[in-house]
Amino acid sequence: MLIVSACLLGLHARYDGGAARHEQLCRYARSGTVIPVCPEQLGGLPTPRPPAEIQGGSGRDVLVGKARVCVCDGRDVTSPFVKGAGEVLQLVRLLPVTGAILKERSPSCGVHRIYDGTFSSRLQAGEGVLACLLKQFPIPVYSEEEVTEELLHRLAGG
């Protein structure tokens, strides 16, 4: 089973109420081995919601209390981000999860790059809160930008 960011499967879970549908992942989901998740929703945040970015580091820093997740008006939403990542981890513990495919650039799901916390559309190297937590367990984590048929076949145990 694969954890997949819900927005990549066409679910309207993004902060702006939209989706980031990834056709190849949607076709793969028909296999019945995909678990769609939105850690921000699982953490209790509404959809739509204000955009959020990690300030002071990356997801790893958030998990150890050295950085925080804030929305554009300065409100701290670190707690729901950490809670939502923990909820996804509960699914990983309950089900035979072999990997995760997450939305790049998200403060939750970013795998390689996230926004720099200034709300100026600048990217920095780093991972989101969920991506970091999954890697610690160790669940292989990929961004939608890395998806190939070969990767999906390998993650499915083929």
1-11 confidence digits (pLDDT tens):
999 999 999 99
Residue 23 near residue 9 (C-beta atoms within 8 A)? no
Tell the residue number behind the tokens 């002071």, with chain if given: 56
pLDDT band of residue 153 (cuts 50, 70, 90) is confident
Q: What is the pTM of this model?
A: 0.96
Indicate if the pLDDT at residue 110 is higher than 70. Answer: yes
